[in-house]
Every structure is written in structure tokens, then in C-alpha cells.
Structure 1
Amino acid sequence: MVDEVRPPPSAGQARELVAGPDGDFFVVSSRDKPCESRLYRFGLAGDGQVTGIEPLEGGVVPSRVAGLAISPDGDRIAYTTAPCDDGAQPSAGLTVRDVESDDRRTWSTSGPTIIGEVVWADDNRTVGYTIGDVRPVGPSVASRPVRTAGLGIRNVAVHALDTDEQRDTDGQGADLRGGRVLFRQPDGPGNVSTAVMAPDGRTGYGVMKKGEPPDTILFTFTEGKPMRVSKTIPGRPNNGQLVAVSIGEDRPRYACLGGVDSSSGRAIACGTAFAY
């Protein structure tokens, strides 16, 4: 277990730490003034000491970085970006970056949206992610959006993006909604809290809350087919439920999976105790 990583003093606070293949670890450090994030790679000695920590090529990312995911071969990373201003309109952005060369591509969406559950498929080129629309409050669409505990997030969908094909002629990524749709939230009440693409790039699993007190609905999905409910856990008044889901994957996902909003701070398992 790693509970402490010490990047250089100017790097800011360590936000996410994710294990990659071949014994590599990747850490994101961020600070708000100025708004910037840095990515580092390091290894561990037999006694758990950090060795060889070094920044990735490409320098500073001028935004918050979250939802870090490493490809199965370790050659590329994917992550989401967000402004440091908590009051800013959320806008989904995804960057895919080559670890050695720093070749990178960025995809985005228009309108108030969130992105999360970023994960690679086994082919090392397909990235899965969720996108959700954020509901603004007040009479004007310019009102500050609300996404408390996922209650303001609607129209959640899981997409699978071929990062080697879907790019504009200038090398930049196209719209995030251009990825294949694997799952789309059904019409009606209910809040999707988890929706993750499986390693095959065609199927996945998720969790939805519905009703009051909310029932917990576990479901699976396959591209081109309706979602399939695998289990419903009845809600109980004044009784919270913590649910962990898994589909028996053969290898680690090398990803910081923390819900449909990667910037919400829910990815506790990817955090570090402190950093200097």
C-alpha cells in the first residue's frame, strides 16, 4: 500500500494515484493558484519506497486533472480536465496522451456536462467514459448548474471512443458524443451513480438509484441492447447503502473509477494521504 508520495515542493497537492502495468505508478498533483496540474510516474522498491519519480513529458496542464486511466500496455494515459473555479459551468473534456512522446489529443462537448468512469479497453485504443447533462437551476439557462450527489445529472450515457480514428484533420479530437453509445439512461426517474465499460469495449455494468427511499438497482448493458437489471436492493428509511460492483475481470483496470463525475472528489481509493 502506498499512502505517501512526495513530488517536488512546487507541484501542489497529490490528487490521484493509480497503479499501471509493469510496476509503474502514476500520480496527479494540482494546485488552484495558478490553476495547473502535473503528472508523474514512479516505481516502488521492495520495501515500498518510491523510486525514480519523474514528471511526464509535456509539462503543466493548465486545469484540474481527474479520472486518470492507463492503457493496458502502459503506453498511453487518459484523463479528464476541469477549471479550478468551482462556480464555473462544467464542461466535459477528455485528453489522451502518449506517455513517452507526449503526443496528445483532446475531445470535448458543448453545454453544461460532466464526464467520468474513464477506462481503457483491452485493445489499447478504445476509451470508455460516461457523459451526463447537468441541470441548471433558476429561470435562466445561465444559472449556476447543480449536481449535488448526482441529483442534477441527467441523460447519462456510456460511450466507447476509438482514439486512433476519431480526430479532426488538425489532430485534435472531435466531439465526445461521437463515440459509440453502449448505454443510455432510460427515460423516467432514477439517478445513475456508476456506469463502466468492460474490457471488451462492448459491454459494461452500472448502478442506479430510484424511488424514495431509493432502491439500488444493479444492471449490465451491451451495445445495441436494452440494459438488463441483475439485482434490486430495496431501500430502507434512514439507512444508507454502500455498493461495490465487479464483473470478475482478469486484470486490474488501471483507472481511477469514482462515479459519473470524475471531478466530484468521490474517488477516495485513488487518493493519497498527503504530499509535499
Structure 2
Amino acid sequence: MPGWVEILVRSVVFLIVLFLITKALGKKQMSQLDIFQYITGIVIGSIVAIHATDVTTNAAYGLLALAVWLLIPLAVEFTALKSKRFRNITQGKGTVLIQNGKIMEDNLKKERFTTDDLLEELRNNKVFNATDVEFAVLEPTGKVNILPKKENQPITPKVIGQKVAPEKEPQTVIMDGKALLEPLANASLNTDWLETELAKMNVSIENVFLGQVDSDGQLTVDLYDDLLTVAEPTEKPLLLATMKKCQADLDLFALATENQHSKQLYQNNSKRMQQAIDKITPYLR
């Protein structure tokens, strides 16, 4: 077999094997590398590079080495799941860089972290003043996570006592001009509903690049033709406006009538309508 053909075959074989090994090691291998995973990645890459390009090596030995470096990380991860002490050895522990608003200089030196490194990581977390940080930790993966001081944390509805409607992830029901049946089923919808909604917009499904349904069942679309515009969903604002109009009409009727029984009836229903508006408003915003 010519050398170039052997290299081609070896490259394809080792590429497939490397793909399978990466899948077996899981997504963590690609996103968050601890010390042991970093070493594993380097060794596996080196084995593949050597045996894919050097025709004088035995490819079977390369596959055997890859098998070993697949089994060892799997065994290490399985053991780490069972033992916190073993996990601390192989994956390491986080190092506190800022605690109670104070920079831990000794820990910075221990991790060979300069002041510039710390400030850079704070900026990556959108913090530009170290005094705004209550707690910061250097994770084993090398990422710095911070907790801002209470007064510097963003305001949330919970902080101000505001109720908000629960929200689920939007479902992508149209992609590249084709309906996706599984996301439609996840949203408890079907193709008949989708066709009806597109008809309301005067849009054909072939012209839709992307269509999504939110947790309230409202469809939004992006068209292939960027010059065409589609009206934003108006069902929720219209419903809220209609309810407020009904409540205002009840107040008006109560003022207009002289019959005490009717006046009381209108006033009671107006209060009930206002209670309904207060409850449903978070869901219609």
C-alpha cells in the first residue's frame, strides 16, 4: 500500500476513533477541563497525531493506547462520583480570591494570580471595581465566579415584591421553511394550529426561515425576505385592554344609574373585574 494511502486510511480511522472517544468522555471534556482532563486531551491528541502520520508505527498499538486512555478517564470519573477526597485530588478545589469584600492576597500568590489577572476576570464578569465584590472564587477549571455585594446586584421582581408569570423555553416549530412536529407536540399544538396562525399573518410556511412559539402559545416568525415585516402578536395586549374597558364600563354604569340595587351590583362586579385584572396582568405583559 502506498504511503499516502496508508496515511489517508489511518487519518480516517483515528478521526472516527477520536470522535467516539470524545462522545464517550462526555460534553464536560469539551467545555470544562480540569487538570486530569487537560492531560487526557493532550495525550489522546498526541497519540492520534503520531499514529495517523507516521507509517512506521503500528496502528494497532495506537488503538490500544487510545483504549487505555478512554478507560482510565472513565474509571477516574466514576471513582470521583463516589469519593469527595478522590475528586479533590483529580479535579482540584476552588480557591477563594475575595471573601467578605476583602482580597485574599495569600491565595492570589498560591495560584500565581496577579492583580491584573484578578481585575481582568472581574471585568469579564462585568465588574470594574473590586470593592463591589462580596465573594470571588477561582474554580478548578480556571474560571472565576463572583458574587456582587447586595447593593450591587441587579434588581429582580422578587426583590421588589413583583409577581411575574412562569415562563417556559420557547419551542422552535418552523425551521428552514419546514414544520417541526416534535416541538409542536411539546407545546401541545399541531400543524392545523400552525397553518391557522400563519394564515392570520398572511404568510406561507415556505417563506418562514424561523418560527417559535412562546409559553403563552404566541407564534413569532422570521421570514427569508428581510424587506417584509410581520406584525407583532397583539392578543395579550388586546385582552388586557378589553378587560380594563369592561371594568371602566361597570364603573360608568354604577355612576349612571339611580337604582341602588343596580348600583351595588355594578360596583361589586367592577371590584371582581379589577381583582381578575390584577391577577392576570403579570401573564399579559
Normalised to the residue count of structure 1, the TM-score between the two structures is 0.21
Task: Give me the TM-score of the superposition, normalised by structure 2.
Answer: 0.21
- Structure with more contact order per residue of length (Cα contacts < 8 Å, sep ≥ 6): 1
More strand by share: 1
Larger radius of gyration: 2
